[in-house]
Structure 1
Amino acid sequence: MPEHAPPRTRTGQAAEARTRMVTRLEAEGDLRPGLVRDALLALPRERLMPQAYVRRSQPEETPPRWDLLNWAVTADQDELLDVLYGGESVLIQHDGEPILGRVPGPRSGGSITSMSSTIGMTAGLLQELDLRPGRRVLDIGTGAGVTTAIACWICGDAGVVTLDRDRHVTAAARERLAGLGFRPSTVSGDGEAGWADLAPYDRIFVSYTVPRLPEAWLAQLAPGGRALVNVSTRSPSWPGLAVVTRTPGGWIEGELRAVEYGHRPAHGFERNFISARFRDRIAAGEEGRTFRSRHAPPPDDARGMWLALDHLHPGLVRNWAADHLTLGAPACGSWLTARPDPVGDWTLAAYGPRDIWDEIQDTAARWRAAGEPDTYQLRLEPGGEQWVSAGSGQAELSWCLPPASTSKNRTKDPS
């Protein structure tokens, strides 16, 4: 079924849904008064995403099943409004398909290959980007065009470039942005190369996670410019946010913040995961040894410590669904669980060649000596090395981000 403009009878309901979304974002602390808030109230998400997928299968069910909802189908409209304005990621492409002209209905197997990120995270990042009229913006990872639309609404579309590796994503965004009256430069290409033709940029926004910062992004940042990029290991559990600026004198400065949420990984940057079988092995605990400790694990909100652990002892994945600390190392099958006991100590169980508890305690001690940082200095050396550090002297806590040639290797779950 072809796409159409929203029926007039639904326009008011969509506007009410936008208002509720903005009110919720304000209440949750993700949005404050300003231009980003005004843009979110003004921009109809159902025009940018007139079709979206909803998953109908359970997380471990195979093959996975989705339904493609369509705003032009009356029976789909209520559910689609909930999807578009509910705050979660919006799934927009299945298995690299063309996006324009799709027939709605069920899909089976394959995977979702493009999405619009959670609006709370997007709003927070865009506010930090400090968009203003006339600023030149490079939006890498177009997706549904939400970030691009906000940048166009605030800055004017003449200075906005949006880049995606998938030409189908680019084509859909170009058409739908034009339907809203925006005509930014909408291009396809390798995101890591940026888009040198219209550089330099005052602001660079990247909507996926990378293991290190590509040199091209740094080179395309204008004096006084700022870039926001999620930087992470192959673990999805403890993301970092790189905030990079170029001083008026041309020097690159940066910091890496430990944050709660991050974007999905870049194409080809495979993530570790704990499979259902591995989770079952950990829950059974039959292989592990049990011991006690008077030392508590660092709390979840000590994000700077967990970020350091992830980089200094890579390969760990947190099972956030467990009601106690549960970590697994898919590459070697090691795992650790920790539960508080009635007398104030901790009961731990561990298995495998890695001593995960010792890794945690060692990193926590180094993190405390460095001043318990949640934000680290990010040093971008002329030779290409990228160092993360906090503290000084013997108390310095530091690590080097992986070279570009090794940053996309895949680690499989052996379980």
Structure 2
Amino acid sequence: MNDLNTGAATEAVSKACPLPEPRSAGSIPAASSEGGVVVAAAGPDSAAARVEMVGRLEESGDLGAGPVRDALLALRREVLMRQAYVRRSDPDELPPRWELLDWARPQDRDELCRLLHSGDSVPVQHAGEPMLGRSPGVRSGGTMTAMSSTMGMTAGLIEVLDLRPGQRVLDVGTGAGVTAGVMCFVCGDDGVVTLDVDQHVGDAVRASLAALGYRPTVVTGDGRDGWPARAGYDRIFVSFSVPSIPPALVDQLAPGGLALMTVATSSPSWPGLAVITKSSTGQVHAELRGVEFGHRAGTGIDGFEQVFLSAKFRQQIAAGGGRWTRRSRLVPPSVTDRGAWLALGALRPGLVRDYGAEDLTIGAPSCGSWMRARPAGTGRWKVTVDGPRDIWAELHEVAALWRAAGSPSTYRIDIGSSGAQQVTTTGGHLSWVLPAPSPTPGEAP
């Protein structure tokens, strides 16, 4: 699952979506109203861009031949996301400025085409706004509250789902409707339920999918509760991260079913992918895999807040002399040792890695602690540490436990009869307890 935010990807899409030739008003593709969405007729540029995007996914190993590939080639992204946002301010500039582009406007179509097929995440809703009938233009401040995730991650996860015709599928976290669209294409829309906490999101996706000829069940509610009216589901897919597995989703999984979701800690740096299966006799098996990318944290979950490194803190780390600097023969886990970093996020909460830094850089925003480490010759590292936490020592304490447990990349999740969830390895050499699932609003604790 690779992030496709690369210069090569942007260049390829630019070729598929060139600047439009000047046209007279009469030659602009006519717009039609389908399912409540005004859709400008798609030209060959968007079709070529889809082919380019799918080709890059295949080259990166995120997508293989099969029904998911066929769906991504067929689904017109300019219909699913006829409006989307681009950021017009620098990443650390406050307040942020965003511009809503609209496919119906010829002057927006080239940039929007490149955005939709870049492989990057695509923001589609600002500050919980209604999404039908919006006027294009600039918005200032606020946050993006719905988006289409990066296509490398999305394609890889959907392939793990092993979708098949006729399956009953629950899509939790509707977003831009890309996942629901693929499910409709592969499984048939009769068996697809897509659920989002925001009715505005559901209304928009219902209309865009109808414009493509699909009419799944689109519902509004807390994703942790699932949608029991259509259970049991052969597949459940959650597109936001949770601190632990919601029991309702396990209950609604059909015998022989499979569920996927990101289980995250207070750090967004080291996510885990929970893979839950239910046997034909109803036995539940769950495992947690260390992965490179995961979904963002869900909203409205009490006590589940992820921490980030501000621009000011990153600059402080880069320039800081630290409490001490020394050379060390300890070797940190490599970036591909996902299981070690997953354990670090769980056992030493509040740590965040700066992946944009040249050195191995980790900070703890809550107390201002940080560490920097860089290779300094064969078998040596130059390490600088600052603040009350010795993050270098914490890293190696967890790494030692991980190596003693056999350097696992995957852990077992034991779900007790009381609902308690423990992540553990064979023999129990390395383990931690996931937070107790919090009650949803209106539910007794």
Does the pair score TM above 0.5?
A: yes
1:296–1:346 CA contact under 8 A, matched in 2 = yes
1:274–1:319 CA contact under 8 A, matched in 2 = yes
The answer for the alignment partner of 1:384 in structure 2 is 419
- 1:329 corresponds to 2:364: yes
The answer for the alignment partner of 1:123 in structure 2 is 155
Aligned length: 403
The answer for the alignment partner of 1:5 in structure 2 is 39
The aligned runs of 1:233-244 (5 Å cut-off) are 233-244=265-276
Secondary structure of 1:350's counterpart equals strand
Aligned equivalent of 2:243, options 200, 208, 211:
211
Secondary structure of 1:297's counterpart equals coil
- 1:301 corresponds to 2:333: no
Secondary structure of 1:263's counterpart equals coil
Q: Comparing 205-214 with 295-304, which one deviates more in the overlay?
A: 295-304
Mapped to 2, the partners of 1:64 and 1:352 lie a distance apart of 30
Cα drift, residue 18 of structure 1:
0.7
CA displacement 1:179-207 (0-9 Å, x = unmatched): 11111110001111110111110000000
- 1:318 corresponds to 2:353: yes
Equivalent residue letter for 2:68:
V
- 1:290 corresponds to 2:333: no
The answer for the alignment partner of 1:277 in structure 2 is 312
Superposition CA RMSD, Å: 1.6
Q: Comparing 330-339 with 166-175, which one deviates more in the overlay?
A: 330-339
The answer for the alignment partner of 2:432 in structure 1 is 399
Aligned equivalent of 2:166, options 129, 134, 149:
134
The answer for the alignment partner of 1:353 in structure 2 is 388
Cα drift, residue 332 of structure 1:
1.4
Cα drift, residue 251 of structure 1:
0.7
Secondary structure of 2:38's counterpart equals coil
The answer for the alignment partner of 2:209 in structure 1 is 177
Q: Deviating runs (4+, > 4 A) in structure 1?
A: none
Is there any run of 5+ residues in structure 2 with no aligned partner, and where? 1-30, 441-445
Mapped to 1, the partners of 2:197 and 2:296 lie a distance apart of 15
Aligned equivalent of 1:228, options 246, 251, 260:
260
The percentage of counterpart residues that share the same residue type is 57
Mapped to 2, the partners of 1:375 and 1:287 lie a distance apart of 35
Mapped to 1, the partners of 2:329 and 2:151 lie a distance apart of 41
CA displacement 1:288-347 (0-9 Å, x = unmatched): 211211112111111110111111111100011100111111111111111111454111
CA displacement 1:365-386 (0-9 Å, x = unmatched): 1111111111111111111111
Secondary structure of 2:186's counterpart equals helix
Mapped to 1, the partners of 2:139 and 2:44 lie a distance apart of 31
Is there any run of 5+ residues in structure 1 with no aligned partner, and where? 408-415
The answer for the alignment partner of 2:281 in structure 1 is 249
Mapped to 2, the partners of 1:17 and 1:276 lie a distance apart of 34
Secondary structure of 1:216's counterpart equals helix
Cα drift, residue 280 of structure 1:
2.0
Mapped to 2, the partners of 1:127 and 1:311 lie a distance apart of 27
Q: Comparing 51-60 with 295-304, which one deviates more in the overlay?
A: 295-304
Mapped to 2, the partners of 1:366 and 1:65 lie a distance apart of 45
Aligned equivalent of 2:48, options 9, 13, 16:
16
Cα drift, residue 287 of structure 1:
4.0
Q: Comparing 24-33 with 335-344, which one deviates more in the overlay?
A: 335-344
The answer for the alignment partner of 1:413 in structure 2 is none
Mapped to 2, the partners of 1:202 and 1:312 lie a distance apart of 33
Cα drift, residue 6 of structure 1:
2.1
2:331–2:379 CA contact under 8 A, matched in 1 = no
2:259–2:275 CA contact under 8 A, matched in 1 = yes
1:223–1:247 CA contact under 8 A, matched in 2 = yes
Equivalent residue letter for 1:51:
Q
2:237–2:261 CA contact under 8 A, matched in 1 = yes
1:200–1:220 CA contact under 8 A, matched in 2 = yes
Secondary structure of 2:317's counterpart equals helix
1:371–1:391 CA contact under 8 A, matched in 2 = no
Mapped to 1, the partners of 2:107 and 2:312 lie a distance apart of 38
Normalising by structure 2, what TM-score?
Answer: 0.88
CA displacement 1:84-132 (0-9 Å, x = unmatched): 1110001100111000000011111111111011111111111110100
Mapped to 1, the partners of 2:395 and 2:439 lie a distance apart of 25
Equivalent residue letter for 1:17:
A
The answer for the alignment partner of 2:144 in structure 1 is 112
Closer/same/farther in 2, CA of residues 133 and 121 from structure 1, 3 Å limit: same
Mapped to 2, the partners of 1:248 and 1:343 lie a distance apart of 53
1:293–1:345 CA contact under 8 A, matched in 2 = yes
2:322–2:384 CA contact under 8 A, matched in 1 = no
Equivalent residue letter for 1:18:
R
